[in-house]
Amino acid sequence: MKYAVIAAALLSFSTSAQASGDHAGGHNESGNIGEAGTKNKVTQTIMVTMKEMDDGKMVFMPANIQVKEGQTVSFQIRNSGQSDHEFVFNTENEILEHKKVMEKFPEMEHDDPNAIRLKAGQTGTIIWKFSKAGVFTFACLIPGHYDAGMHGQISVNQK
């Protein structure tokens, strides 16, 4: 009986994980906000810093980003903090769903065009084409980081 309950729990989890996308192949829902871009199409470069503050808060600077629908952006991301951080963006619902999964599996690795995880002192780049206007969320989903303030918004304005 104990094994049947565990098997049922694993089956239900795997079904919900497939609905939100897998980390080996990307989040299926990231297409709701755009697609991976190409370097030769970049029209704007946005510098993003991730770090911890003396008061215990964790932040992105800037915390609010504005781009235009159809624009290809190069995010130049620097982890200036002392611990690992992520920069993941998607719809707010997808971010919150992903946050719940990360709380259960904190060592989960990402291989998504709309996400990057950096160790302290590292830098990285995400190139993204925003194909839909709206307000989207970016966050660090390492357990505890979102709750410590590590999230922000990307406003994609209509052309």
Query: pLDDT higher for 61 or 3?
Result: 61
Looking from the CA of 1 toward its CB, the CA atoms found within 13 Å total: 0
Question: Given a cut of 70, is residue 22 above it in pLDDT?
Answer: no
Q: Residue 69's domain is classified under what CATH number? A: 2.60.40.420
In which band, very low, low, confident or very high, does the pLDDT at 19 lie, cut at 50, 70 and 90?
Answer: very low
Neighbours of 102 (CB within 10 A): 22
pLDDT of the residue at 45: 98
Domain residues for the domain of 104 are: 2-157
Distance CA 137, CA 105 (A): 21
Of 149, 138, 129, 111, nearest to 31 by C-alpha is 129
Percentage of the chain with pLDDT > 90? 74
pLDDT band at 85 (very low <50, low <70, confident <90, very high): very high
Residue position matching structure tokens 């002392």 = 82
Encode pLDDT of 91-140 as tens digits.
Answer: 999 999 999 999 998 877 777 999 999 999 999 999 999 999 999 999 99
Sign of CA dihedral 135, 58, 56, 99: positive
Alpha helix stretches (DSSP H) within the chain: 2-20, 92-104
Q: What is the mean pLDDT of residues 67-77?
A: 97
The total domain count for the chain is 1
Task: Provide the 3-class DSSP secondary structure of residue 60.
Answer: strand
**Res 30: pLDDT:** 59
